[in-house]
Amino acid sequence: MLKKFLLAAFATFVLVTIVDSLFYALFMENYFPSPNVKKMPDMPFFILGQLIFALVFAYMYPKGVERGTMPEQGAKYGILIALMYGLAMDLMLFATTNGWNLTQVFIDAIYRMFILAVAGIIVAFIYKLPHSRV
The residue type found at 58 is A
Q: Are 61 and 120 in contact (CB under 8 A)?
A: yes
Pair 46, 96: CB distance under 8 Å? no
pLDDT of residue 33: 64
Mean pLDDT by 10 residues, the chain (134 residues): 93 93 76 66 88 95 84 92 90 82 87 95 90 67
Q: Looking at residue 101, what is its pLDDT?
A: 82
pTM of the model: 0.86
Angle between helices 2-22 and 102-127 in degrees, nearest 10: 150
Segments making up each domain of the chain, as ranges: 2-133
3-state helix, strand, coil in the chain (%, to 5): 75, 5, 20
pLDDT at 18: 92
∠ CA 90-74-20, nearest 5°, is: 40
The kind and range of the H/E element at 123 are: helix 102-127
pLDDT at residue 129, as a whole number: 80
Residue at 134: amino acid letter: V
Give the DSSP per-residue string, 50-80: HHHHHHHHHHHHHHH--SEEHHHHHHHHHHH
Q: By the 8 A CB rule, do 12 and 74 touch?
A: no
pLDDT given at position 20:
86
71 neighbors 124 (Cβ within 8 angstroms): yes
